[in-house]
Chain A
Amino acid sequence: MDGAILYLREDDRLHGRVQPAMMPASTDVLIRLKSLSKHYGTHIVLDGIDLDVRSGEVLAIIGPSGSGKSTLLRCINYLEPPDGGIITIGSMTIDAARPVARAELSGLRRRVGMVFQSFNLFPHMSVLRNVSLAQERVLGRSRAEADERSMQLLKRVGLADKAGQFPVRCSGGQQQRIAIARSLALDPEIMLFDEPTSALDPELGLEVLAVMRELAETGMTMIVVTHEMGFAENVSDTVMIMADGHIVEKGPSKDVMRNPQQERTKRFLRAVHDR
């Protein structure tokens, strides 16, 4: 692995070599969802979700396929417009029952960064362009400013040497780290990760998890839909289990992962551990 930031090993936290909360999550709520709902036809995907995420908190969402985890994430930044409910992010409130103006949407997306399972880098642009484009077009930075910031971030994810290459030339793990840099370049307040390692083999997934762990330690507020139980238990502050469009259980990560209260949670975790 070529990442400069990989000074943290996967098990560092387990063994207490890294303090669990270098920058503890504050008590102010940064994201508040109130009865967020979404359905496709008669199928209810999100059934009135209420959720608070504190500034600096790392929330892992786990659960079986089709439970609404990804849809929840995609509703938060309006890639899927929710049918009802209220989204509050910092000082901004969006009522999903009403049509949303284009300006509100861009305000929302400026605050919220998103990383996809399939990376979705732009294949016809160099790595540097991928990271710089939105800085210029959305934040109005000059080309030089944007490129300078991009290089800082590429360095941070250990890929400064790939700046001039096309994404095609990078491994999956490298592409995902570039995608993270691309999102961070817009200085979001919150980062959403939609199964960021699911398309990667375990080794490549590890380098992405290391970047995410480092990000968590800088105090970034993160919501991570994941099947990585190690990440959920050791890196996130809070774990939330979803099934059938509901929140089944939510609590401090160690408690939920080691001592789940709900039958549905126990069943899911047993299935994961039996694999």
Chain B
Amino acid sequence: MFPTQDEISAWLPDLLGGLSISLQVTGLSLLIGIPFGLVLALGVLAKNRLLKGVSLFLVEVGRGAPALVLLQFIYFGLPSTGLTLSSFSAAIIALAWNTGAYTSEIIRASLQSVALGQREAAEALGLSRFDELRYVLLPQGLRVALPALLGFSILIFQGTSLCFTIALPELVSRAYEIGSTTFRYFPALLAAGVLYAAISIPAAFLVNHVEKRAGLYAQR
């Protein structure tokens, strides 16, 4: 049932290679997706109808379609329009879109949670819209959003396992490959599970810690 010591030392380099790709995809998806989420949030809040419409469309598709469908669509579907992407690029585009769509709602809600008086004070002082956002709304809003954004980041890390279906050599596909050559599926997938947990559980503790600190700030 459990992997032996020999198996572990034999599989580990491969599994860690897969984990490294999972983490790279997570990092890049968040790095692109969260700023994209901010742009979408501002777009949804915009008065301009076209901007608002396009942003809403991107948010609703990104949230409405399962991440697996987005992945499949971008990797297998787009080539028929003449656009062929590597599995790594396809994974990042799909997960960044998914991240952007979800985090835009988190960011929008947190910006709107900043007290109205803060906006009025900024306006009365004559700050421009951009300065109001940059110096007053974002620093306070993002502090509110931070725990939810970190929580979502853990979900995206786990979501990279879906990239197994587009032949990206990430952690699950490495474990699956080991299973198919050794017929030791259970121990191989178990080892992969332990590696996921080794990242996700400490990350969850971190989120809790951040949430408590953000709470302290909110009490004022």
Taking the complex as formed, is B83 at the interface, i.e. its CB lies under 8 A from any CB of chain A? Answer: no
Would B140 and A123 count as touching, CB distance under 8 A?
yes
Interface string of B104-138 (1 = CB under 8 A from A): 00000000000101101101111110010001100
Q: How many residues of B contact A (CB 8 A)?
A: 19
On whether A186 and B126 interact (CB within 8 A), knowing A123-B140, A124-B140, the answer reads: yes
Whether the Cβ atoms of A182 and B125 lie closer than 8 Å is yes
Which residue of B123, B124, B143 contacts A124 across the interface (Cβ within 8 Å)? B143
Contact A123/B120 with A134-B127, A186-B126 known, Cβ cut-off 8 Å: no
CB contact under 8 A between A120 and B126, given known A133-B135, A137-B131, A168-B220: no
| Closest chain B residue to A108, Cβ basis | B126
Contact, CB under 8 Å: A79 / B117:
no
* A residues near B131, Cβ cutoff 8 Å: 137
User: What is the predominant secondary structure among interface residues of chain B facing chain A?
Assistant: helix
Could you count the A-B residue pairs with CB atoms below 8 Å apart for me: how many are there?
Answer: 55
> Which residues of A have CB within 8 Å of B139?
124
Minimum distance in angstroms from A232 CB to a CB of chain B? 23
Of the stretches A86-94, A110-118, A152-160, A247-255, the one at the interface is A110-118
Partner of A120, one of B121, B127, B143, B217: B121
Which chain B residue lies CB-closest to A115? Answer: B124
Give Cα A116–Cα B119 distance, bound, in whole angstroms.
12
Report the bound CA distance from A2 to B178 in whole Å: 73
Tell me if A165 counts as interface (CB < 8 A to partner B).
no
Which residue in chain A gives the minimum CB-CB distance to B129?
A102
Closest to B140 in A: A124
Determine whether the beta carbon of B126 is less than 8 Å from that of A122: no
Alpha-carbon gap, A137 to B120, bound state (A): 16
| A134-B125 in contact given A116-B117, A120-B117 (Cβ < 8 Å) | yes
The CA-CA distance from A182 to B125 in the complex, in Å, is 9
Q: Specify which chain A residues have a CB less than 8 angstroms from the CB of B140 in the assembled complex.
A: 122-124
Whether A118 touches B117, Cβ cut-off 8 Å, given contacts A123-B220, A124-B143, A137-B135, is: yes
**Docked-complex contact A109 and B117, CB < 8 angstroms:** no
Smallest Cβ-Cβ distance to A123: which chain B residue: B220
Tell me the bound Cα distance from A114 to B125 in angstroms. 8
Q: A265 at interface (Cβ–Cβ under 8 A)?
A: no
Contact yes or no, A109 B125, CB < 8 A: yes
Closest residue on chain A to residue B134 by CB atoms: A137
A79→B125 contact, CB < 8 A: no
Tell me, rounded to whole Å, the shortest Cβ–Cβ distance linking B155 to chain A. Answer: 28
| A109, A118, A168: the one within 8 Å of B126 (CB) | A109
Residues of chain B with a CB closer than 8 A to A137's CB: 127-128, 131, 135
Cα distance A121–B118 in the bound complex, in angstroms: 7
Known: A79-B120, A186-B125. 12 other contacts (CB 8 A): A79-B124, A110-B126, A113-B124, A116-B124, A118-B117, A120-B115, A122-B118, A123-B140, A133-B127, A137-B131, A138-B125, A138-B126
Closest 5 CB pairs of A and B: A120-B121, A109-B126, A134-B125, A120-B117, A114-B124
